[in-house]
Amino acid sequence: MTGARVDARAWGWRYASRLAWAARGLDLAVEPGERILLSGLSGSGKSTLLHALAGVLGGADEGEEEGQLAVDGADPRAIRGRAGLVLQDPDTQAVMHRVGDDVAFGCENLGVPRAETWRRVREALALVGLDVGLDHSTSALSGGQKQRLALAGALAMRPGLLLLDEPTANLDPDGVGEVRDAVRRVADETGATLVIVEHRADVWRGVIDREVRLGDAAPDAAGFDAGAPLARPGETLLAAEGLRVGRTRGVAVAGPVDLEIRAGEVTGITGPNGAGKSTLGRTLAGLLPAVGGSVVASDALRGGAGADPFRWSSRQLLTRIGTVLQSPDHQLLARTVRGELEVGPRALRLSADEVAARSDDLLARMRLDRLSRAHPHTLSGGEKRRLTVAAMLATRPRVCVLDEPTFGQDPRTWREMVDVIGALARAGSAVVAITHDRDLLRATGAREIALEAA
């Protein structure tokens, strides 16, 4: 394995469904074996560049390209396998049920002989420090383990260029350390060129050689003031008693938990990856049945519906409990950004004028107005997160359950997201934030519910 060279000269890319360019006028040279951190505001083209370098952007039917982009002097599409790409969300990267098969997948697609493939699989797993059996279930891995699994799968293809797109975004502090240390070890031992997209540059100090910023300079989030302090919490809207949660009937992954979700308060649910935070959030939101114990909505919240939110219809949920899932792609439904914001209000049968007014307001508040006609799946990770939050807010629910609401945000949009959460609580909504972001908890004065490892 030898490090690859990257050259970009006035390079740009515009998706076929977009008027604005995702990236444009980029000049960049990365020497073989160099390690760079790629930063910039949300939507500045960081992920687009990584996908282009990996050769997976597609051809002229998928977008328009200008300038030149080369890996080792060649079009990245012509030398697939020279670059290995590790994406943001570890849950979306495992393609096989067993660890060994997952790591072998890329090699098999490149036509590597069987004996050589399995030698590479074992070598890659050892290099990233993932000490589990080849038959171990990929679904049983923690978030940090899944990210190291994805890294091993990329390494097994022997790339000269490793591309990491916010690889620690959804991980707890231990998982962040695991992935960072694994990447450092890989870079030291293989000499591969490394390009990391990350908003948290401090995590990678000591690993990278230099930082490259795309687009405008990002403002500093230090000293951020979240606004007026929240008032005293109001009435209880949701109560859980002896609650056990899980995604398989009869199998609990967390609990028992006793808690109250109160109007005018931010409740932060924290804990290590695999502790059941997202499952608890979905159960409180009425998307999963309780495995044990109960979730009861107050009279003020249910307004004539039953006591158990899981028994409510989708329309009943819309104005009562809104949910933003951890992976934005799992809840994008429409063909345009504006259409996404209109799904909920239209389901409530609001007037066309009211639907338009709500959409216009949220497009402006979430800095999505210039993207109103874009296809949601062409947005950056941070833009998708803001879109899913906006779509939830469009129906004005009393309880908002947000899974990693600050995921993929630059300092400016992070502050704006904190503003949104604080404003919701001050207006009397109850906010549940499932997060690893300690700064978010501090900025919103959240009451913390910490789950232990399962």
Cα angle, residue 439 at apex, residues 436 and 444 outer, rounded to 5°: 105
Q: Are residues 157 and 297 in the same domain?
A: no
Is 228 contained in some domain?
no
What is the mean pLDDT of the segment spanning 179-204? 89
Is 383 contained in some domain?
yes
Using a pLDDT cut of 70, give the percent of the chain over it.
96
- Edge-first strand order for the sheet with 193-197 is 83-86, 161-165, 193-197, 35-40, 210-214
What is the mean pLDDT of the segment spanning 373-396? 91
Q: How far apart, in Å, are the Cα atoms of 414 and each of 42, 55, 405, 420, 443?
A: 10, 31, 9, 10, 11
For residue 337 the two structure tokens come to 């950004």
Is 440 contained in some domain?
yes
For residue 406 the two structure tokens come to 């600050």
- Secondary element (H or E) of residue 323: strand 321-324
DSSP labels, 144-173: HHHHHHHHHHHHTT--SEEEEESTTTT--H
Q: Are residues 78 and 181 in the same domain?
A: yes
Closest CA to 2 of 119, 151, 159, 112: 159
Q: Are residues 146 and 288 in the same domain?
A: no
Q: What is the pLDDT, as a whole number, of residue 216?
A: 67
What is the mean pLDDT of the segment spanning 209-222? 72
Neighbours of 38 (CB within 10 A): 24
Is 220 contained in some domain?
no
What amino acid occupies position 353?
D
Closest CA to 170 of 378, 340, 409, 330: 409
Is 222 contained in some domain?
no
Q: Are 11 and 66 in contact (CB under 8 A)?
A: yes
Q: Are residues 209 and 242 in the same domain?
A: no
pLDDT at residue 329 is higher than 90: no
- Domain range for 296: 236-450
**175-184, 192-201, 286-295 — which one is most confidently predicted on average?**
286-295
The last residue of one of the domains, among 214, 246, 274, is: 214
Dihedral sign of CA atoms 152, 154, 157, 160 in order: negative
Q: Compute the distance between CA of residue 359 and CA of residue 364 in angstroms, rounded to an integer.
A: 9
What is the mean pLDDT of the segment spanning 1-11? 92
Whole-prediction pTM value? 0.80
pLDDT at residue 137 is higher than 80: yes
Dihedral sign of CA atoms 64, 70, 74, 80 in order: negative
Of 49-53, 91-95, 400-404, minimum mean pLDDT range: 91-95
pLDDT-derived band of residue 43, with 50, 70 and 90 as boundaries?
confident
pLDDT at residue 224 is higher than 50: no
Q: Are residues 240 and 136 in the same domain?
A: no
For residue 376 the two structure tokens come to 């949601």
pLDDT-derived band of residue 186, with 50, 70 and 90 as boundaries?
confident
What is the mean pLDDT of the segment spanning 129-134? 88
For residue 228 the two structure tokens come to 């007026």
pLDDT at residue 226 is higher than 70: no
Q: Compute the distance between CA of residue 240 and CA of residue 256 in angstroms, rounded to an integer.
A: 9
Extended beta strands in 75-226, E state: 83-86, 161-165, 193-197, 210-214
Dihedral sign of CA atoms 6, 9, 15, 20 in order: positive
Neighbours of 116 (CB within 10 A): 11
Residue 83 pairs in a beta bridge with 161
Q: Compute the distance between CA of residue 342 and CA of residue 449 in angstroms, rounded to an integer.
A: 33
Q: Are residues 245 and 179 in the same domain?
A: no
pLDDT at residue 222 is higher than 50: no
pLDDT tens, position by position, 17-31: 788 888 999 999 999
Q: Are residues 374 and 428 in the same domain?
A: yes
Extended beta strands in 368-442, E state: 399-403, 430-434
Is 227 contained in some domain?
no
Is 352 contained in some domain?
yes
Q: What is the pLDDT, as a whole number, of residue 172?
A: 79
Q: Compute the distance between CA of residue 263 and CA of residue 430 in angstroms, rounded to an integer.
A: 4
Q: Compute the distance between CA of residue 288 and CA of residue 400 in angstroms, rounded to an integer.
A: 16
3-class state of residue 94 by DSSP: coil
Q: Are residues 82 and 132 in the same domain?
A: yes
What amino acid occupies position 229?
P
Q: Are residues 348 and 199 in the same domain?
A: no
Q: Compute the distance between CA of residue 239 and CA of residue 420 in angstroms, rounded to an integer.
A: 24
Residue 38 pairs in a beta bridge with 197, 212
What is the mean pLDDT of the segment spanning 148-154? 89
Q: Compute the distance between CA of residue 188 and CA of residue 210 in angstroms, rounded to an integer.
A: 16
For residue 38 the two structure tokens come to 């790629």
Q: What is the pLDDT, as a whole number, of residue 388?
A: 94
What is the mean pLDDT of the segment spanning 163-172? 83
- How many domains in the chain? 2
Q: Are 176 and 3 in contact (CB under 8 A)?
A: no
Q: Are 201 and 39 in contact (CB under 8 A)?
A: yes
Q: Which CATH number characterizes residue 160's domain?
A: 3.40.50.300
**165-169, 390-394, 405-409 — which one is most confidently predicted on average?**
390-394
Cα angle, residue 453 at apex, residues 269 and 406 outer, rounded to 5°: 35
Q: Are residues 53 and 202 in the same domain?
A: yes
Q: Compute the distance between CA of residue 307 and CA of residue 238 in angstroms, rounded to an integer.
A: 10
Q: Are residues 379 and 291 in the same domain?
A: yes
Is 17 contained in some domain?
yes
pLDDT-derived band of residue 327, with 50, 70 and 90 as boundaries?
confident
pLDDT at residue 248 is higher than 90: no
pLDDT tens, position by position, 274-299: 788 989 999 999 999 999 999 999 99
pLDDT at residue 378 is higher than 60: yes
Q: Are 282 and 288 in contact (CB under 8 A)?
A: yes
Q: Are residues 15 and 144 in the same domain?
A: yes
pLDDT tens, position by position, 73-122: 999 998 878 899 988 777 778 889 999 999 999 999 889 999 999 999 99
Mean pLDDT (the chain, rounded): 89
Extended beta strands in 41-141, E state: 63-71, 83-86
